Structure formats: C-alpha cells, structure tokens
Amino acid sequence: MDVEAQKPDCSKNFIGGQWRDPAQGEYYTNEDPARQVPLGEVAIAGEADVDHAVHAAREALNGKSWGRMSPADRGRLLWRIGQTIRERGEYLALLESLDTGKPYTEALHGDIPHAAGAFEYYAGWSNKITGEVLPIPSSYVDYTRHEPLGVVGAIVPWNFPLQMAAAKIAPALATGNTVLLKPAEQTPLTAMALADILSELDVPPGVVNVLPGFAATGAALVAHPGIDKITFTGSTAVGKSIMRTAADTLKRISLELGGKSPNLVFDDADLQRAVRGVATGIYYNQGEMCTAGSRVLVQDSIYDQFMDAFLAALRDLQPGDPLDKNTRLGSLVSQEQFARVSHYVTLGQQEGATLALGGAPGADRGYFFPPTVFTEVQPHSRLAQEEIFGPVVAITRFADEAQALTLANDVNYGLAAGVWTTDLARAHRVAHGLQTGTVWVNTYNALWHEAPFGGYKESGHGREGGRAGAELYTQTKNVCIRI
Ligand code: NAI
Ligand code: MG
C-alpha cells in the first residue's frame, strides 16, 4: 500500500468541519520511531485555535443538524463511522504502526477493530439511555432526563491512539455531546484520518474537532471555560494537574491513568497458561500499556518451575520491524520513552534486583527494547512501585495468599490485576481482595466495550465502557410538575 499517497494531512487543525492553518503558524515534525525518519509536519494548535473550536463545537451543540438529530439517527451515524473504520482497517493499521512503532499485525487485529467496535457498541446506546418516572405523590409528575454535558475535551495518549480516541468520542457523541480531540504529539496520524472519515460521512461541522499539539494544547483545553468536561488518558502526574486546573471552572473530569498491575501466580495455576498470560500481559504493545502486568508475584513453591518456563517462553521474543507480519514486539514510541525505560533498567540494578534477561538494547536505529526481566525485586523499590511503560517486568516471590494480596495492593496504583489459579474459591477470594478496577482470572488484557474499565486509587476516576461509559458524558435533570 502506498502510504505516502494517502497519509492524512496533519499540518492543519480540523475545526468546524474544515481544515485550517494553525493561527500562530507553528508546526513540528512527527517521527516514525522504528526507522527514525520524519512522517510529516504537524500543526500545533494554540489557544486561539482551541477557542475557535470551542465555538464551533458549541454552535453544533445548539444547531439544527446535530442538536436536533434524533438519538436513533445519531446511532446510525456512529454505526457508519465504525463500519468505515473497519473497511479502512489495513490503511489505519499501517498509519498506527508507523506512528507508534507497534507491530502492524497487532494494530490490524487489535487497535483498529477495537476502535470500530467502540463506535458500533455506543451506536446502540444512543437511543437507550432512558430516564425514569418517579413514584412520588399523585399530585405530581416527576421524571429524569439524561442530558449531554455539552462540549467535551478529549486528551489521549500515544499507546493506542485511535482506540483511545474512539473510546472517548463514541460515548460522547452517543449521548449528544460535541468533542475537541487532542491527539498525543507522538501520534497524530489516525486522529487526522478519523477527521477525514467524519468529513466524508457528513458528520455535522463542529461535532468533532481535532487539535494536534503538545502539553500546552491539552492545557488550553483544560483551562477553557467553554469546555464542560475533560476526558483524559495518560500519566498520573498530568491527571493530577488536570484535576487541579479543572477546579477553576468546575469542569467534569474522568481520568484513566497509569498502573503497576500485578499478575499473581499461585501454585495451583495451570503453569503453561500462566506463563503465556504473564508474558503477553507485560510484552503486548512493548509494555506500553496502562494495564501492563508489570509486577509478577509468584508463589515460592513453584517459583523455580515458573521462572524456567517463563524465560524459555521469551527466548524467541525479540523486537523487529513493526511492519513485518511476524513481529510481536515493535519499537518504543519515542526517544524520550526509550530513555525512560533505559533509566529504569539502570535503577533496578542500582536497587539490587537481579537482571535475569534483556536490559541492553541492540539495534542502532529505532527505539527497540528487548524483553527485560528483573527477579528478586524488593516490594518497596522504585522498580516495583513506579510505572515504567516498557517491556520490563519485576518479579517477586510470595509465601501464601495473604502475603500475595498484601504485596499486590501495596502500590499507589489500582488499575488491573491478573490471578492465575485453578482453585475456584481462591479465585473469588483474591478477586474480592484486590484493590483494582479490573481483575482478570486465568486471562489478561481481555477488554470489552461492554465492561466498565477504570482505576482504583491513583489509577483514575470514572469507568469507560458499558453503560457507565455513556453516563460519563451525561448529567441528570429532574423535572417535577405539580398537576
Ligand atoms: P502524558 O500524560 O504527558 O501525555 C498524555 C497526553 O496528555 C498527551 O496528549 C499530552 O500531550 C497531554 N498532556 C501532557 N501534559 C498535559 C497537560 N499539562 N495538560 C493537558 N494535557 C497534557 O504522558 P507521556 O509524557 O506521553 O508519557 C509519560 C508516562 O505516562 C509514560 O511513561 C507512562 O508511564 C504514562 N502514560 C500512561 C498512559 C496510560 O495509558 N495510562 C498513556 C501514556 C503515558
Ligand atoms: Mg509518531
């Protein structure tokens, strides 16, 4: 496929249904991290562009074509967006792979269908979010309405660019809002390709606006008084700063932040399944995943057996060209992320953990990082406590169930956890004891649009997916009538 010929134009903002030059005339160069070659110039949206987009979004909200579109018609439109994403799967997967460094195969079978699925799933909710008539005294009629919040600012990260954008835009549109999307600076391509799709499908102008740029562009969305809600996925540090700034305008926020998710392997686990699950849990998407199972807790009695099988399973897992169909580990997204991951490897060694595998990147071009395993990791070390966001796993032993739970919960994060056991009662006991928004038993990273997803503790606020995901974009009005 000739990408050059079809690569979306990122040098403009998409505002009010039109491609517009950035007001300040500022641009940056986007990079393909695997080849370290430029992917094109990208507009930097400034405050004036954000303001312009807020007005376009507000106008669409109150306008005839979107504001008065029936919920069923909104649903049909969302469905068509999902279908178009599916039809362009190969093209979008290629863009995603070039931009992020992730394997093309994973983008094709993971990111892109998942993004399409978000639109298809929320298409169905468009006309199914119903209010209630309340049982109050008969001299009154009292009912509730779930109204849109208004203009939504969606700030997304670089690890699953289209998928994350879809997970926010689809429920926001299903419930009648309008959106300003700020893609991550590392990965603007599929956001712009989505703008192309919306434009072709005649989504009314201003319903979705795309504003590329860096942190300052995101911050301009958060500060703007005309934006009613910020939905964010990214680092906990930025999530905290968004929460602080949002207080000034009392914006609604939902935050999907980092994690340090544990995978607990009990001595009654199906060892082969556990080994495979733990490996994909940490190495899928180069470990650049909020749910990465980056801490592995293994019961003493099977520790040696598990480690032998785990290291053997990783023998053939080496980073390679993301566009090669057989590649399962691509490039990290950027030089910055490469430096961050490298730093943690040095830190782990300084902290006295044992480097059992990997650690030293080999390629002279591209930000490739090999699968890296640390054992004997101390529970309070930074290696065990901080999000690395790379293919680095910290392994610690435990003696019994009680200790496993204590270790698992002893971090500030609480996004997800995996439990590997064949004991049914233990599976439920441990699932109930884990302080995480998601618990996977004998599986990992099984994510469904139907299921609520989000964090406990510093992993965030709010739940994406399911009915909860739609309700993130509504506010309830109560209407009480004296009859
Ligand atoms: P980040 O949190 O800085 O970036 C995420 C998004 O927020 C990007 O679109 C960025 O431009 C925007 N942003 C940055 N500062 C902002 C601000 N002050 N106000 C509004 N928007 C802002 O993440 P970054 O720097 O790319 O990665 C750093 C670390 O964050 C990673 O190593 C990883 O630990 C974590 N992270 C977690 C993600 C997750 O899925 N939960 C995704 C990406 C990063
Ligand atoms: Mg890029």
Please give the pLDDT value at position 324. 97
Quick check: is 453 in a domain? no
Task: Please identify every residue whose CB atom is under 5 Å from ligand 2, which is an ion.
Answer: 30, 99, 186-187
Quick check: is 43 in a domain? yes
**Residue 273 shares a structural domain with residue 207:** no
Ligand 1 in reach of 219 Cβ (< 6 A): yes
Give the domain extent around 211.
3-257+459-482
**Residue 233 shares a structural domain with residue 364:** no
Ligand 1 in reach of 389 Cβ (< 6 A): yes
Please give the pLDDT value at position 178. 98
Catalytic (active site) residue 10? no
Q: Per-residue pLDDT tens for 142-187?
A: 999 999 999 999 999 999 999 999 999 999 999 999 999 999 999 9
Q: How far apart are CA 43 and CA 10, in angstroms?
A: 6
Please give the pLDDT value at position 362. 82
Tell me which residue has tokens 């979306």. Answer: 8
Quick check: is 454 in a domain? no
- For ligand 1, atom 43: residue with the closest CA: 234
Element (H, E) at 91: helix 89-100
- For ligand 1, atom 8: residue with the closest CA: 184
* Distance from Cα 244 to the centre of ligand 1, integer Å: 16
* Distance from Cα 285 to the centre of ligand 2, integer Å: 15
**Residue 323 shares a structural domain with residue 364:** yes
Helix and strand numbers (H, E) in the chain are: 18, 21
Q: Per-residue pLDDT tens for 425-454?
A: 999 999 999 999 999 999 999 999 999 999
Q: Which atom of ligand 1 is nearest to the CA of 460?
A: 41
**Residue 444 shares a structural domain with residue 476:** no
Counting as low any pLDDT under 70, the low residues of the chain are 1-5
* Distance from Cα 212 to the centre of ligand 1, integer Å: 14
The strand pairing partners of 475, in sequence order, are 147
Supply the pTM of this predicted model.
Answer: 0.98
Selected catalytic residue, list 31, 96, 106, 256: 256
Catalytic (active site) residue 90? no
Backbone dihedral region for residue 389 (phi beyond 0: left; psi -120 to 50: alpha; all else: beta): left
- For ligand 1, atom 9: residue with the closest CA: 184
**Residue 227 shares a structural domain with residue 141:** yes
The strand pairing partners of 255, in sequence order, are 232, 461
**Residue 471 shares a structural domain with residue 444:** no
Ligand 1 in reach of 390 Cβ (< 6 A): no
Please give the pLDDT value at position 372. 98
CATH of the domain at 133: 3.40.605.10
Please give the pLDDT value at position 5. 57
Maximum Cα interatomic distance, the chain, rounded to a whole number of Å:
78
